[in-house]
Amino acid sequence: MAAASSFRIETFQNESGTTIKLTGELDSATCAALIERFEKTARPPGTRQVVLDLAGVSFIDSAGMRAIIVIERLAGQHDLSLTVSPPPSAVTELLQVTGIADHVRLTPRDDQPALSAPLIERIELKLPRDPHAPGRARAELRTVLPGRISDADRATLILLTSELVTNAVIHPARGVEGAVELRISAHADRVRVEVGDAGSGFDLQTLPPRPRESGGHGLIVVEGLSNRWGTRRRTAEEGDGFCVWFELDVDYAPEATGSPEATERPVAAAEG
């Protein structure tokens, strides 16, 4: 399985204040370290200006965005001047979807297209239910369909998949054990991603509203960026349980669907 990107926090002091520089992926597994570093930075007397430098960040999910919101609130409590240097443009564009959190009512869009489109590639993974699972899923997606889809489509697929895997890791039903199962199916006109486990799932109509600083906004990101998404109960052949899925319509390079060998290539990745 492909290795996940490393995450690093560096702190620099200068005459104008303190700079906290991030490199790598800011997600549910790394955001606590960022908040802890900021709290340590804010404690010394005389600290008045802090720069949060995100220029080296390659990925941010909704957990990472919540961490930045928390830091903004802490800066106000400590009377600090906080400047956030934005991440690269591709990451910044995806983050604009976080503004829909106050305006979107979750309604699964399960109007699936015709299933006649040929299958190009399928990958199935079993991810240990730990904080590193979303990073493993992202690393695997970066190896899928190399050169066949646009960078923008790939970035969207990575973000949405990471959000669903993160939800499966941090919001499991009580007593649920076993791996988080990820299936990526690339068809000639779209990519479908399914994330499932042995849990009983949830009812969207009964999910309570959450403040921006708390968890549970991954589905809002999926609602905003996917073409279709929904939930389903898994079959006995799949081991029962619950699944959340989404589809993203994509454009492929002509050679991606023209080769007979590309019609179907299921891949099974080892657990862990």
Which three-class secondary structure state does DSSP give residue 59?
strand
Which three-class secondary structure state does DSSP give residue 20?
strand
What's the confidence (pLDDT) of residue 52?
92
Q: 119-127 and 266-268 as β-strands: parallel, antiparallel, unpaired?
A: parallel
Contact call for residues 91 and 58 (beta carbons, < 8 A): yes
- How far apart are alpha carbons 181 and 102 in whole angstroms? 30
List domains and CATH numbers for the chain.
Answer: 8-87 (3.30.750.24), 119-268 (3.30.565.10)
Long-range contacts of 173-181 (CB under 8 A, 24+ apart): 173/199, 173/200, 173/201, 177/129, 178/129, 179/126, 179/127, 179/128, 179/129, 179/271, 180/126, 180/127, 180/128, 180/129, 180/133, 181/124, 181/125, 181/126, 181/127
What's the confidence (pLDDT) of residue 66?
83
Contacts of 153 (CB under 8 A, 6+ apart): 191, 248, 250, 251
Locate the DSSP E strands across the chain.
Answer: 8-14, 17-26, 49-60, 81-85, 119-127, 180-187, 190-197, 228-233, 242-249, 266-268
Q: Which residue has the tokens 């019609």?
A: 263
Contact call for residues 86 and 182 (beta carbons, < 8 A): no
What's the confidence (pLDDT) of residue 102?
44
Q: Which residues pair with 180 in a beta bridge?
A: 127
Rounded to the nearest 10 degrees, the angle between the axes of helix 151-170 and helix 133-141 is 160
Q: Which two tokens stand for residue 203?
A: 């009812």
Q: Which two tokens stand for residue 153?
A: 């489509």
What's the confidence (pLDDT) of residue 259?
44
The mean pLDDT values, 10 residues at a time, for the chain of 272 residues are 70 87 93 93 82 92 86 89 86 64 54 65 89 91 78 89 89 71 89 82 52 56 87 70 89 60 41 46
Angle among Cα 78, 209, 181 to the nearest 5 degrees reads: 100
What's the confidence (pLDDT) of residue 100?
43
Which three-class secondary structure state does DSSP give residue 172?
coil
